[in-house]
Amino acid sequence: MRGFLASSVGVTCAAALALPLALPASPAQAGPSTAASEAAAPGSTQSLPLVPLTRERSLRPTAGAQGLARRNVRPFSLVGVVWDDPASELDGRVQVRTREAGTGVWSDWQEVETHNDEHAPDPGTDEGEARRVHGSTAPLWVGNSDGVEVRVEAERGARDATEDLEEGAEDGSGDGSGDGREAAPLPGGLRLELVDPGGDPPGPDARTAGRAGGAPSGPRARSLHAGVPDGKGGAGAARLPALSREETERTYFPDGMSDRRAAPYIGPRPSIVTRRGWGANENLRERGFRYTKKVKAAFVHHTASGNKYSCSQVPSIIRSIYRYHVVSSGWRDIGYNFLVDKCGNIYEGRAGGVAKAVMGAHTRGFNTNSMGIAVIGSFGGTKPTDAALKAISRLTAWKLGLYGADPRGRTYLKSAGGNLYRKGKNVRLNVISGHRDGFATECPGRLLYGKLGTARTTAARYQGR
Per residue in 208-243, pLDDT tens? 433 333 333 333 333 333 344 554 444 578 999 999
Question: Would residue 337 count as lying in a domain?
Answer: yes
Per the document, the length of the chain is 465
More confident of the two residues 311 and 27:
311
Average pLDDT over residues 201-206: 58
Looking at the fold, whether 156 and 237 belong to one and the same domain comes out as: no
Instruction: Report the domain count for the chain.
Output: 2
Helix (H, G, I), strand (E, B) or coil at 366: coil
pLDDT at residue 54, as a whole number: 78
**Residue 324 predicted with pLDDT over 70:** yes
pLDDT at residue 41, as a whole number: 44
Query: Angle formed by the axes of helices 386-402 and 452-462, to 10°?
Result: 50
Nearest-angstrom CA–CA distance, 462 and 245: 9
Looking at the fold, whether 64 and 113 belong to one and the same domain comes out as: yes
Nearest-angstrom CA–CA distance, 302 and 154: 25
Nearest-angstrom CA–CA distance, 454 and 394: 12
**Residue 453 predicted with pLDDT over 70:** yes
Looking at the fold, whether 44 and 188 belong to one and the same domain comes out as: yes
Looking at the fold, whether 17 and 77 belong to one and the same domain comes out as: yes
Question: Would residue 207 count as lying in a domain?
Answer: no
Strand bridging mode 272-273 / 410-414: unpaired
Q: Which of 52-56, 335-339, 393-397, 408-412 has the lowest mean pLDDT?
A: 52-56
Looking at the fold, whether 301 and 436 belong to one and the same domain comes out as: yes
Q: What is the mean pLDDT of the chain?
A: 79
Nearest-angstrom CA–CA distance, 450 and 434: 9
Q: Is the peptide bond before 444 cis (omega within 30 degrees of 0)?
A: yes
Name the DSSP letter for residue 149.
E
Looking at the fold, whether 113 and 16 belong to one and the same domain comes out as: yes
Q: Which of 43-47, 144-148, 171-175, 410-414 has the lowest mean pLDDT?
A: 171-175
Single-letter amino acid, residue 45: T
pLDDT at residue 121, as a whole number: 61
pLDDT at residue 340, as a whole number: 98
Q: Which residues contact 301 (CB under 8 A, 6 or more apart)?
A: 13, 119, 336, 362, 363, 372, 373, 374, 375, 434, 435, 443, 444
Question: Would residue 205 count as lying in a domain?
Answer: no
Tell me the residue range of the domain where 84 lies: 2-196
pLDDT at residue 57, as a whole number: 54
Backbone angles phi, psi at 311, to 5 degrees: -65, -25
pLDDT at residue 153, as a whole number: 93
Q: Pick from 393, 383, 374: which is nearest to 446 by CA?
A: 383
Q: Measured in Å, how far apart are the chain's first and last C-alpha atoms?
A: 37
pLDDT at residue 176, as a whole number: 42
Q: Pick from 450, 331, 440: which is nearest to 12 by CA?
A: 440
What CATH number has the domain bearing residue 414?
Answer: 3.40.80.10
pLDDT single digits (tens) 123-147: 566 665 566 789 999 999 999 999 9
Average pLDDT over residues 402-429: 90
User: Three-state secondary structure along 174-238?
Assistant: CCCCCCCCCCCCCCCCCEEEEEECCCCCCCCCCCCCCCCCCCCCCCCCCCHHHCCCCCCCCCCCC
Backbone angles phi, psi at 84, to 5 degrees: -65, -55
Looking at the fold, whether 184 and 265 belong to one and the same domain comes out as: no
pLDDT at residue 207, as a whole number: 44
pLDDT at residue 263, as a whole number: 58
Question: What does pTM read for this prediction?
Answer: 0.80
Average pLDDT over residues 258-274: 80
Average pLDDT over residues 382-395: 98
Question: Would residue 213 count as lying in a domain?
Answer: no
More confident of the two residues 19 and 389:
389
Q: Which of 50-54, 164-168, 379-383 has the lowest mean pLDDT?
A: 164-168
**Residue 278 predicted with pLDDT over 70:** yes
Looking at the fold, whether 187 and 58 belong to one and the same domain comes out as: yes
Nearest-angstrom CA–CA distance, 163 and 170: 11
Question: Would residue 206 count as lying in a domain?
Answer: no
More confident of the two residues 155 and 271:
271
Which stretches does DSSP call E strand in 285-380? 297-302, 338-340, 346-348, 370-375
- pLDDT band with cut points at 50, 70 and 90 for residue 120: low
CA 264 to chain centre: 31
Give percent above pLDDT 90 in the chain: 58
CA distance readout (Å), 87 to 55, 90, 123? 29, 10, 10
Nearest-angstrom CA–CA distance, 333 and 400: 22
- pLDDT band with cut points at 50, 70 and 90 for residue 203: low
Looking at the fold, whether 40 and 147 belong to one and the same domain comes out as: yes
DSSP symbols for 407-452: TTSEEEEE----SSS-TT-EEEEESEEEGGGTSSS-TT-HHHHTTH
Backbone angles phi, psi at 162, to 5 degrees: -65, -30
Q: Which residues contact 198 (CB under 8 A, 6 or more apart)?
A: 41, 42, 43, 44, 279, 281, 319
Looking at the fold, whether 234 and 371 belong to one and the same domain comes out as: yes
Q: Which residues contact 410 (CB under 8 A, 6 or more apart)?
A: 428, 429, 430, 431
CA trace torsion 454, 455, 457, 458 (10° rounding): 110
pLDDT at residue 157, as a whole number: 55
Give percent above pLDDT 70 in the chain: 70
pLDDT single digits (tens) 15-56: 333 333 332 333 333 333 333 333 334 799 999 999 999 765
Q: Which of 88-92, 282-286, 417-421, 459-463 has the lowest mean pLDDT?
A: 417-421
Looking at the fold, whether 267 and 140 belong to one and the same domain comes out as: no
Looking at the fold, whether 152 and 271 belong to one and the same domain comes out as: no
Average pLDDT over residues 67-82: 97
